[in-house]
Chains A and B, each alone.
Chain A
Amino acid sequence: MTSQNRHSSSFRDPSGFVFVNNDIIKRSISPLYFEQYNLLKSTGFFKKLQNAGLLIPHEELLASEEEIIIQPEQISFINYPYEWSFNQYKEAALLTLKIQKFALENGFSLKDASAFNVTFQKGKMIFIDTLSFDFYTENSPWRAYKQFISHFFGPLLLAKYNGLESLKLMNSFIDGVPIKMVSSMLPFKTRIHPFLYSNIHLLAKFEDKHNEDYKGESRSSNLSKKAQLNIIKGLYDFIKKMSLERSSEWGDYYDKTNYANDAFDQKATIIDNWINQLKAKTVIDIGGNDGTFVRKINQELKEALVCDIDYNAVDANHKYVKTNKETFMLPFVFDILNPSANIGFNNTERDSFLKRIKNYAPDATMALAVIHHMTLSGNIPFEMSAEFFSSFSKYLIIEFPKRNDSWVKRLLKTKGEFKAHFDFYNIGNFEANYSKYFEFIEKLAIDNSDRVMYFYKNKKN
């Protein structure tokens, strides 16, 4: 076996790197890290964390003098920090702290605290960077502390005080949101809060003061383990209790859609029948809200990606997943008008949404109550949305609200005098454009509504 095909995201840590071999993700460990790896293994540290469901399980494939190769359990769809809702972000932060506390108690320490070390799998956050552990040196401070603040605590605070959209900042700052910037964006009251003052504002000041000090660690500092545990426990308690300033009431969305109950049920039945015909095991619901329609599918799904632009809907879905201990649902935040791009060094460190979803190739895509928003709010022509859906879907279940639908009327009204430019929004044009990319299978009108459901097969496969 050769550890070629180094994954483009894996170059920062000299302990080893991730590579792809026959579409399977594997990890090569360098001799530099052998001592740590062997002790983590022999003391049962890895096993314990894996049993507790905190660390991704792996098997050792090869151990030579030059390298050790391990194969972690594969994750079908990786989602990134800038695609998490507030509580998903909280869960990732808490997991990182929990692991650090456990590591300290066992003589190890997390050498980094990147938000990209964590992702969602089977209904919960899991730590995926197996090589993040190093020996704990007595009385040394936590070197990943600043990284934790800029990757987790800073973005969470910005989301709390400045709005949930702040969580998207990680898309621009792949190395974490600068602490000085976090400090400058927080309201004054956070300066008189001792915990926030010391963790953010004072930290920003210290960093500013010392970043010109090229002597580096000439002033090496000491910190007892007890003191480090205080930091970790303090952050854990604070983050666990964090809630949004304006916790918006979510949950009445389906009341606003002017659906009659029977139309709602009929829609669910249509989807269920089509998914059954396909024997679909994996689906993505674009604009899936809190996952209501996916949960109404009676077939057993292996995995359902449910994304929405509404942070609160994704949060509500996340809460359902946690409370009901669901393992098949993967909620995340997604803006169809601006899906996550390729970012990082060489633009290949983190993959775009499109690249990930093409690799994932879900059996079916559901796009319910989405097309009118795409067309009338996003001004995306039918042909372009059809091309988008056809780039990753084998089958498409799409709902078309006609011009008399109250939402469509409302969206058209906002166009004012340009309303006439949207005369193309009708069922004939929709069908004509979608037929260029999709083979028509079936359409069903929902009774007592102005909505029609379409079932399409991709012409490409």
Chain B
Amino acid sequence: MTTVAAKPATMAQALQRAMRDAMAEDPTVHVMGEDVGTLGGVFRVTDGLAKEFGEDRCTDTPLAEAGILGTAVGMAMYGLRPVVEMQFDAFAYPAFEQLISHVARMRNRTRGAMPLPIVVRVPYGGGIGGVEHHSDSSEAYYMATPGLHVVTPATVADAYGLLRAAIASDDPVVFLEPKRLYWSKSDWSPDAPAAVEPIGRAVVRRTGRSATLITYGPSVPVCLEAAEAAQAEGWDLEVVDLRSLVPFDDETVCASVRRTGRAVVVHESNGFAGPGAEIAARVTERCFHHLEAPVLRVAGFDIPYPPPMLERHHLPGVDRVLDAVARLQWEAEN
């Protein structure tokens, strides 16, 4: 056996290895989508899979999102485990009908007789200078649909671990890939053994005592940076990375908020009727007597995703998080 020197990997590589390992272990795993074969996907996440496993296992489909997901439904009915790539967040919308009317509810409508183990991979979110329709954060739509798991990694290790779990899941999983973290590096190596992360568990990325930042996906690095910056002002912030939006880990989130007594939800999708609204309500319902201040939200503006030259004004950055943290000094202000 040749030993390969462990070298750091990107999130894109970790996702690719997750699919490769799953395909090698289980011949029913099929990858399909636009340009996923010869090209390896526009983000190269499926790079090499067609070559290694053949075009029947990693298939360039016609350019039709409803068709891609709709045929994946039939394939899953016949015992395959399709992993579908939607090229960009906003191009998944044509497939909503299949996702909502069939993928999400086939298990339920057949009383458990026909589960659909489909993974829908969606590169999502902004911060890469994409033109219109290339930067949407659509997680609220998916979260609002019963029957779907909604998962989003923020680290390279989680990208591998969660995608393996998603492919192994007997339920459909919408797997949101923060595209601005595709090239984020880590000390995770594609050559070292890797762990599968169970879906549905949040993780405390940084411990602290003053307040909890509840976040996920592309906003996790933002919150970690904010927590470092806040230290100078005497705030010791805890950062919870949700990883899974559905199922929601009330336990980890509420345990943290009960310790700190204060919470800010941070995400880049729109605030109004967004994920933060649900999270703030849950936390308030469960931790009311522990709260020293209302649960605040730092989110994208309630606007269609802006053009690239303006997106930095829309995306919640460190300063907006710190402003919210300052507002948590509720007693002093009132």
Q: Is the A/B pair a real complex?
A: no
Interface residues of A (CB under 8 A from B): none
